Protein backbone atom coordinates (compact mmCIF):
# COMPACT_ATOMS: atom_id res chain seq x y z
CA UNK A 1 0.00 0.00 0.00
CA UNK A 2 1.48 3.38 -0.98
CA UNK A 3 2.12 6.02 1.63
CA UNK A 4 -0.41 8.82 1.86
CA UNK A 5 0.81 12.15 0.44
CA UNK A 6 2.00 14.80 2.87
CA UNK A 7 -0.61 17.43 3.72
CA UNK A 8 -0.39 20.54 1.58
CA UNK A 9 -0.41 24.14 2.69
CA UNK A 10 -3.80 25.54 1.59
CA UNK A 11 -4.20 28.58 -0.63
CA UNK A 12 -5.72 30.60 2.22
CA UNK A 13 -2.50 30.19 4.22
CA UNK A 14 -0.52 31.52 1.24
CA UNK A 15 -2.86 34.52 1.15
CA UNK A 16 -2.02 35.18 4.80
CA UNK A 17 1.69 34.86 4.10
CA UNK A 18 1.54 37.28 1.17
CA UNK A 19 -0.42 39.67 3.37
CA UNK A 20 2.58 39.61 5.69
CA UNK A 21 4.94 40.11 2.74
CA UNK A 22 2.99 43.17 1.60
CA UNK A 23 3.28 44.59 5.13
CA UNK A 24 7.02 43.87 5.24
CA UNK A 25 7.45 45.78 1.98
CA UNK A 26 6.70 48.92 3.98
CA UNK A 27 9.51 48.11 6.40
CA UNK A 28 11.90 47.58 3.51
CA UNK A 29 10.78 50.49 1.35
CA UNK A 30 12.86 53.11 3.15
CA UNK A 31 16.48 51.80 2.83
CA UNK A 32 16.58 52.14 -0.99
CA UNK A 33 14.98 55.58 -0.65
CA UNK A 34 17.56 56.94 1.83
CA UNK A 35 19.79 58.57 -0.85
CA UNK A 36 16.73 60.19 -2.47
CA UNK A 37 15.45 61.39 0.91
CA UNK A 38 18.85 62.83 1.78
CA UNK A 39 18.97 64.66 -1.54
CA UNK A 40 15.40 66.01 -1.45
CA UNK A 41 14.96 66.67 2.28
CA UNK A 42 18.56 67.14 3.44
CA UNK A 43 18.39 64.56 6.23
CA UNK A 44 21.54 63.13 7.85
CA UNK A 45 22.58 59.55 8.57
CA UNK A 46 21.21 59.46 12.12
CA UNK A 47 17.90 60.99 10.97
CA UNK A 48 17.75 58.30 8.31
CA UNK A 49 18.27 55.74 11.07
CA UNK A 50 15.26 57.07 12.94
CA UNK A 51 13.15 57.05 9.78
CA UNK A 52 14.22 53.45 9.28
CA UNK A 53 13.27 52.43 12.79
CA UNK A 54 10.35 54.77 13.62
CA UNK A 55 7.97 52.34 11.96
CA UNK A 56 8.57 50.14 15.00
CA UNK A 57 7.25 52.66 17.57
CA UNK A 58 3.70 51.31 17.55
CA UNK A 59 4.81 47.69 17.57
CA UNK A 60 7.22 48.10 20.46
CA UNK A 61 4.62 49.88 22.60
CA UNK A 62 1.34 48.24 21.56
CA UNK A 63 2.26 44.69 20.55
CA UNK A 64 0.92 43.03 23.68
CA UNK A 65 -2.30 45.06 23.61
CA UNK A 66 -2.79 44.28 19.91
CA UNK A 67 -2.48 40.59 20.69
CA UNK A 68 -5.19 40.96 23.31
CA UNK A 69 -7.38 42.88 20.86
CA UNK A 70 -6.98 40.22 18.19
CA UNK A 71 -8.37 37.64 20.59
CA UNK A 72 -11.51 39.75 20.72
CA UNK A 73 -11.94 41.17 17.20
CA UNK A 74 -10.55 38.13 15.37
CA UNK A 75 -7.28 37.48 13.57
CA UNK A 76 -8.66 37.96 10.06
CA UNK A 77 -10.19 41.32 10.96
CA UNK A 78 -6.90 42.36 12.56
CA UNK A 79 -4.90 41.60 9.40
CA UNK A 80 -7.42 43.36 7.16
CA UNK A 81 -7.40 46.43 9.40
CA UNK A 82 -3.61 46.55 9.37
CA UNK A 83 -3.42 46.32 5.59
CA UNK A 84 -5.97 49.12 5.29
CA UNK A 85 -3.92 51.35 7.62
CA UNK A 86 -0.76 50.66 5.58
CA UNK A 87 -2.63 51.52 2.38
CA UNK A 88 -3.76 54.92 3.65
CA UNK A 89 -0.48 55.83 5.41
CA UNK A 90 1.65 55.02 2.36
CA UNK A 91 -0.77 56.99 0.17
CA UNK A 92 -0.27 60.03 2.40
CA UNK A 93 3.49 59.48 2.49
CA UNK A 94 3.55 59.67 -1.29
CA UNK A 95 1.61 62.93 -1.05
CA UNK A 96 4.37 64.29 1.22
CA UNK A 97 7.00 63.25 -1.31
CA UNK A 98 5.08 64.95 -4.12
CA UNK A 99 4.85 68.17 -2.11
CA UNK A 100 1.06 68.00 -1.81
CA UNK A 101 1.18 68.04 2.02
CA UNK A 102 3.82 68.70 4.66
CA UNK A 103 5.73 71.59 3.10
CA UNK A 104 8.58 72.66 5.37
CA UNK A 105 7.60 70.00 7.89
CA UNK A 106 7.96 67.08 5.47
CA UNK A 107 10.41 65.18 7.71
CA UNK A 108 8.07 65.43 10.70
CA UNK A 109 5.18 64.24 8.55
CA UNK A 110 7.20 61.25 7.42
CA UNK A 111 8.11 60.37 11.00
CA UNK A 112 4.45 60.47 12.05
CA UNK A 113 3.36 58.43 9.03
CA UNK A 114 6.11 55.88 9.70
CA UNK A 115 4.68 55.47 13.20
CA UNK A 116 1.20 55.02 11.72
CA UNK A 117 2.61 52.45 9.32
CA UNK A 118 4.00 50.71 12.37
CA UNK A 119 0.46 50.34 13.71
CA UNK A 120 -0.68 48.91 10.39
CA UNK A 121 2.29 46.57 10.21
CA UNK A 122 1.63 45.29 13.72
CA UNK A 123 -2.06 44.62 13.09
CA UNK A 124 -1.25 42.93 9.77
CA UNK A 125 1.53 40.55 10.79
CA UNK A 126 0.75 39.78 14.43
CA UNK A 127 -2.20 37.46 13.56
CA UNK A 128 -0.16 35.56 10.95
CA UNK A 129 1.04 32.54 12.97
CA UNK A 130 -2.39 31.99 14.52
CA UNK A 131 -4.16 32.21 11.18
CA UNK A 132 -1.73 29.83 9.50
CA UNK A 133 -2.01 27.40 12.39
CA UNK A 134 -5.79 27.48 12.06
CA UNK A 135 -5.82 27.11 8.27
CA UNK A 136 -3.12 24.44 7.89
CA UNK A 137 -3.83 20.72 8.43
CA UNK A 138 -1.85 18.74 10.99
CA UNK A 139 1.41 17.54 9.47
CA UNK A 140 2.01 20.65 7.39
CA UNK A 141 2.03 23.22 10.19
CA UNK A 142 5.81 23.25 10.79
CA UNK A 143 6.60 23.75 7.12
CA UNK A 144 3.88 26.42 6.88
CA UNK A 145 5.24 28.31 9.89
CA UNK A 146 8.67 28.10 8.30
CA UNK A 147 7.21 29.78 5.23
CA UNK A 148 5.56 32.42 7.41
CA UNK A 149 8.94 33.16 8.96
CA UNK A 150 10.09 34.23 5.48
CA UNK A 151 7.54 37.06 5.17
CA UNK A 152 9.95 39.67 6.52
CA UNK A 153 13.07 38.86 4.43
CA UNK A 154 10.96 38.29 1.31
CA UNK A 155 9.22 41.66 1.67
CA UNK A 156 12.48 43.46 2.48
CA UNK A 157 14.32 41.75 -0.40
CA UNK A 158 11.61 42.69 -2.89
CA UNK A 159 11.65 46.27 -1.64
CA UNK A 160 15.44 46.48 -1.93
CA UNK A 161 15.37 44.99 -5.42
CA UNK A 162 12.44 46.90 -6.91
CA UNK A 163 12.68 50.16 -4.99
CA UNK A 164 15.80 51.67 -6.60
CA UNK A 165 14.47 51.17 -10.14
CA UNK A 166 11.08 52.70 -9.37
CA UNK A 167 12.63 55.57 -7.39
CA UNK A 168 15.03 56.32 -10.27
CA UNK A 169 12.12 56.28 -12.71
CA UNK A 170 9.51 58.30 -10.84
CA UNK A 171 10.88 59.43 -7.47
CA UNK A 172 10.33 58.11 -3.98
CA UNK A 173 6.74 59.43 -3.88
CA UNK A 174 5.77 57.01 -6.66
CA UNK A 175 7.45 54.22 -4.67
CA UNK A 176 5.22 55.00 -1.68
CA UNK A 177 2.11 55.09 -3.89
CA UNK A 178 2.97 51.78 -5.58
CA UNK A 179 3.23 50.01 -2.23
CA UNK A 180 -0.09 51.52 -1.19
CA UNK A 181 -1.67 49.70 -4.13
CA UNK A 182 0.11 46.46 -3.17
CA UNK A 183 -1.34 46.61 0.36
CA UNK A 184 -4.82 47.26 -1.00
CA UNK A 185 -4.54 44.26 -3.34
CA UNK A 186 -3.30 42.05 -0.49
CA UNK A 187 -6.25 43.10 1.65
CA UNK A 188 -8.66 42.11 -1.12
CA UNK A 189 -7.04 38.68 -1.43
CA UNK A 190 -7.03 38.00 2.30
CA UNK A 191 -10.65 39.14 2.53
CA UNK A 192 -11.73 36.76 -0.22
CA UNK A 193 -9.56 33.72 0.62
CA UNK A 194 -9.55 33.53 4.42
CA UNK A 195 -12.75 32.37 6.15
CA UNK A 196 -14.46 34.77 8.52
CA UNK A 197 -13.28 34.65 12.14
CA UNK A 198 -16.63 33.44 13.43
CA UNK A 199 -16.22 30.18 11.47
CA UNK A 200 -13.25 29.05 13.57
CA UNK A 201 -13.72 30.37 17.12
CA UNK A 202 -11.53 27.70 18.71
CA UNK A 203 -8.91 27.32 16.02
CA UNK A 204 -6.84 30.40 16.58
CA UNK A 205 -5.42 29.31 19.87
CA UNK A 206 -7.22 31.84 21.98
CA UNK A 207 -7.84 31.25 25.65
CA UNK A 208 -11.11 31.44 27.47
CA UNK A 209 -11.85 34.30 29.82
CA UNK A 210 -11.48 38.06 29.62
CA UNK A 211 -8.52 40.10 28.51
CA UNK A 212 -7.10 40.35 32.03
CA UNK A 213 -6.88 36.57 32.40
CA UNK A 214 -5.21 36.26 29.00
CA UNK A 215 -2.75 38.99 29.92
CA UNK A 216 -1.87 37.30 33.22
CA UNK A 217 -1.45 33.96 31.47
CA UNK A 218 1.05 35.51 29.05
CA UNK A 219 3.14 37.75 31.29
CA UNK A 220 3.17 35.22 34.13
CA UNK A 221 4.85 32.45 32.08
CA UNK A 222 8.52 32.08 31.14
CA UNK A 223 8.10 30.93 27.55
CA UNK A 224 6.54 34.13 26.12
CA UNK A 225 9.26 36.31 27.63
CA UNK A 226 12.10 34.06 26.49
CA UNK A 227 10.77 33.75 22.94
CA UNK A 228 10.17 37.51 22.81
CA UNK A 229 13.70 38.37 24.01
CA UNK A 230 15.21 35.86 21.60
CA UNK A 231 13.27 37.43 18.74
CA UNK A 232 14.47 40.87 19.82
CA UNK A 233 18.19 40.06 19.71
CA UNK A 234 17.74 38.37 16.32
CA UNK A 235 15.70 41.07 14.61
CA UNK A 236 17.80 43.92 16.03
CA UNK A 237 21.00 42.79 14.38
CA UNK A 238 19.38 41.59 11.15
CA UNK A 239 17.57 44.88 10.54
CA UNK A 240 20.64 46.93 11.48
CA UNK A 241 22.86 45.09 8.97
CA UNK A 242 20.40 44.63 6.08
CA UNK A 243 18.75 48.02 6.59
CA UNK A 244 22.01 49.94 6.17
CA UNK A 245 23.56 47.69 3.54
CA UNK A 246 22.51 50.04 0.68
CA UNK A 247 24.14 52.97 2.47
CA UNK A 248 27.28 50.93 3.21
CA UNK A 249 27.69 49.89 -0.41
CA UNK A 250 26.84 53.37 -1.71
CA UNK A 251 29.58 54.79 0.52
CA UNK A 252 31.98 52.19 -0.86
CA UNK A 253 31.26 53.34 -4.41
CA UNK A 254 29.19 50.35 -5.55
CA UNK A 255 27.02 51.33 -8.54
CA UNK A 256 23.33 51.76 -7.72
CA UNK A 257 22.20 48.83 -9.87
CA UNK A 258 24.64 46.39 -8.28
CA UNK A 259 23.90 47.86 -4.86
CA UNK A 260 20.23 46.94 -5.17
CA UNK A 261 20.92 43.43 -6.46
CA UNK A 262 23.57 42.60 -3.85
CA UNK A 263 21.44 43.89 -0.98
CA UNK A 264 18.33 42.06 -2.18
CA UNK A 265 20.26 38.78 -2.54
CA UNK A 266 21.65 39.15 0.98
CA UNK A 267 18.16 39.73 2.36
CA UNK A 268 16.71 36.88 0.30
CA UNK A 269 19.24 34.44 1.77
CA UNK A 270 17.24 34.76 4.98
CA UNK A 271 14.32 33.14 3.15
CA UNK A 272 16.45 30.07 2.47
CA UNK A 273 17.20 29.83 6.18
CA UNK A 274 13.51 30.16 7.06
CA UNK A 275 12.43 27.39 4.69
CA UNK A 276 15.34 25.16 5.71
CA UNK A 277 14.52 25.72 9.38
CA UNK A 278 10.91 24.69 8.81
CA UNK A 279 12.02 21.55 6.97
CA UNK A 280 14.47 20.57 9.70
CA UNK A 281 11.83 21.10 12.36
CA UNK A 282 9.51 18.88 10.31
CA UNK A 283 12.20 16.19 10.36
CA UNK A 284 12.58 16.32 14.13
CA UNK A 285 15.64 18.52 14.70
CA UNK A 286 15.46 20.04 18.19
CA UNK A 287 14.40 23.73 18.17
CA UNK A 288 17.17 24.64 20.63
CA UNK A 289 19.79 23.21 18.25
CA UNK A 290 18.42 25.21 15.31
CA UNK A 291 18.49 28.40 17.36
CA UNK A 292 22.08 27.75 18.40
CA UNK A 293 23.10 27.11 14.80
CA UNK A 294 21.37 30.26 13.63
CA UNK A 295 22.95 32.58 16.18
CA UNK A 296 26.38 31.00 15.69
CA UNK A 297 26.13 31.69 11.95
CA UNK A 298 25.14 35.30 12.66
CA UNK A 299 28.03 35.74 15.09
CA UNK A 300 30.66 34.38 12.70
CA UNK A 301 29.15 36.11 9.67
CA UNK A 302 28.97 39.49 11.40
CA UNK A 303 32.59 39.35 12.56
CA UNK A 304 33.86 38.21 9.15
CA UNK A 305 31.86 40.87 7.31
CA UNK A 306 32.79 43.93 9.36
CA UNK A 307 35.86 43.31 11.56
CA UNK A 308 39.18 44.76 10.50
CA UNK A 309 42.56 45.57 12.03
CA UNK A 310 43.63 49.18 11.78
CA UNK A 311 41.92 52.08 10.06
CA UNK A 312 42.00 53.90 6.76
CA UNK A 313 44.06 52.72 3.83
CA UNK A 314 46.21 50.48 6.06
CA UNK A 315 43.24 48.55 7.50
CA UNK A 316 43.39 44.78 7.20
CA UNK A 317 40.26 42.70 6.66
CA UNK A 318 38.71 40.17 4.36
CA UNK A 319 38.47 40.99 0.63
CA UNK A 320 35.15 42.54 -0.46
CA UNK A 321 33.89 39.33 -2.08
CA UNK A 322 34.44 37.33 1.12
CA UNK A 323 32.87 40.09 3.21
CA UNK A 324 29.77 39.90 1.05
CA UNK A 325 29.71 36.10 1.36
CA UNK A 326 29.87 36.57 5.13
CA UNK A 327 26.87 38.94 5.03
CA UNK A 328 24.95 36.30 3.07
CA UNK A 329 25.93 33.62 5.61
CA UNK A 330 24.83 35.97 8.41
CA UNK A 331 21.41 36.39 6.80
CA UNK A 332 20.98 32.74 5.78
CA UNK A 333 21.91 31.29 9.16
CA UNK A 334 19.76 33.83 10.94
CA UNK A 335 16.73 32.72 8.93
CA UNK A 336 16.51 29.58 11.04
CA UNK A 337 15.78 31.70 14.12
CA UNK A 338 12.33 33.17 13.29
CA UNK A 339 11.13 29.89 11.76
CA UNK A 340 11.95 28.16 15.05
CA UNK A 341 10.59 30.90 17.29
CA UNK A 342 7.21 31.00 15.56
CA UNK A 343 6.91 27.26 16.15
CA UNK A 344 7.91 27.62 19.81
CA UNK A 345 5.53 30.53 20.21
CA UNK A 346 2.47 28.49 19.18
CA UNK A 347 3.72 25.33 20.92
CA UNK A 348 4.78 26.65 24.32
CA UNK A 349 2.23 29.45 24.65
CA UNK A 350 -0.42 29.23 21.90
CA UNK A 351 -2.09 32.63 22.08
CA UNK A 352 -2.20 35.71 19.84
CA UNK A 353 -1.19 37.62 22.99
CA UNK A 354 2.11 35.73 23.02
CA UNK A 355 2.73 36.56 19.37
CA UNK A 356 1.97 40.19 20.20
CA UNK A 357 4.59 40.15 22.94
CA UNK A 358 7.09 38.59 20.51
CA UNK A 359 6.34 41.30 17.95
CA UNK A 360 6.68 44.00 20.60
CA UNK A 361 10.13 42.81 21.67
CA UNK A 362 11.21 42.34 18.05
CA UNK A 363 10.13 45.87 17.21
CA UNK A 364 11.97 47.29 20.21
CA UNK A 365 15.16 45.69 18.94
CA UNK A 366 14.56 46.98 15.41
CA UNK A 367 13.84 50.46 16.76
CA UNK A 368 16.99 50.75 18.88
CA UNK A 369 19.56 48.96 16.73
CA UNK A 370 19.66 51.01 13.47
CA UNK A 371 20.17 54.43 15.14
CA UNK A 372 22.69 52.91 17.57
CA UNK A 373 24.71 51.28 14.81
CA UNK A 374 24.48 54.45 12.69
CA UNK A 375 25.68 56.54 15.67
CA UNK A 376 28.68 54.26 16.21
CA UNK A 377 29.49 54.37 12.49
CA UNK A 378 29.29 58.17 12.56
CA UNK A 379 31.55 58.41 15.61
CA UNK A 380 34.26 56.04 14.37
CA UNK A 381 34.04 57.09 10.72
CA UNK A 382 32.95 53.74 9.28
CA UNK A 383 31.07 50.49 9.79
CA UNK A 384 34.01 48.44 11.05
CA UNK A 385 32.67 48.17 14.63
CA UNK A 386 29.27 46.82 13.57
CA UNK A 387 30.52 43.31 14.34
CA UNK A 388 30.57 44.13 18.08
CA UNK A 389 26.80 44.76 18.06
CA UNK A 390 26.01 41.61 16.08
CA UNK A 391 28.30 39.48 18.25
CA UNK A 392 26.71 40.75 21.48
CA UNK A 393 23.22 40.02 20.16
CA UNK A 394 24.22 36.54 18.97
CA UNK A 395 25.81 35.58 22.29
CA UNK A 396 22.68 36.73 24.11
CA UNK A 397 20.54 34.75 21.64
CA UNK A 398 22.52 31.56 22.25
CA UNK A 399 22.10 31.93 26.00
CA UNK A 400 18.34 32.50 25.62
CA UNK A 401 18.06 29.50 23.29
CA UNK A 402 19.60 27.32 25.96
CA UNK A 403 17.00 28.50 28.46
CA UNK A 404 14.19 27.87 25.96
CA UNK A 405 15.46 24.34 25.46
CA UNK A 406 14.90 23.64 29.17
CA UNK A 407 11.16 24.45 28.99
CA UNK A 408 8.73 21.55 28.56
CA UNK A 409 5.36 22.41 26.98
CA UNK A 410 3.33 20.32 29.46
CA UNK A 411 4.94 21.93 32.49
CA UNK A 412 4.65 25.41 31.01
CA UNK A 413 0.93 24.92 30.34
CA UNK A 414 0.41 23.69 33.87
Which is nearest to 306 in space by CA: 325, 281, 323? 323
pLDDT at position 394 is 93
Whether the full predicted model's pTM is greater than 0.85, yes or no, is no
Q: Which residues of the chain have pLDDT under 50?
A: 1-4, 199-208, 410, 412-414
pLDDT at position 287 is 85
Distances (CA, A) of 265 to 121, 162, 262, 378, 398: 23, 12, 5, 26, 26
Q: Using one digit for the tens of pLDDT, what is the confidence trace for 357-397?
A: 777 787 778 777 777 887 887 777 777 788 888 899 999 99
pLDDT at position 329 is 93
pLDDT at position 153 is 78
Distances (CA, A) of 303 to 112, 250, 306, 382: 35, 21, 6, 15
Helix, strand, coil percent values for the chain (each to nearest 5): 80, 0, 20
pLDDT at position 19 is 93
128, 14 contact by CB (below 8 A): no
172, 37 contact by CB (below 8 A): yes
| Domains of the chain with CATH codes | 11-198+209-413 (1.20.1250.20)
pLDDT at position 214 is 60
Amino acid sequence: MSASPAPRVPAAAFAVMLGGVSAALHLGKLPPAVPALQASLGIGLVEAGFLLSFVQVASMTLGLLAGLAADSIGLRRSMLTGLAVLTVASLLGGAVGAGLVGGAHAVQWLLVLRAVEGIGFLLAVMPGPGLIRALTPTGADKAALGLWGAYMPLGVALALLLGPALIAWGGWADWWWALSLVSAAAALWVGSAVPADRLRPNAVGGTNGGWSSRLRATVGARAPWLTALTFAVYSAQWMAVIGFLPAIYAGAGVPAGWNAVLTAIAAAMNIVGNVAGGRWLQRGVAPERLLQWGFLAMALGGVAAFAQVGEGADALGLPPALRYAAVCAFSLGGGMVPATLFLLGVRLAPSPTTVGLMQQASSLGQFLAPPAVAWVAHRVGGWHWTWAATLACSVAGMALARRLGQIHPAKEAA
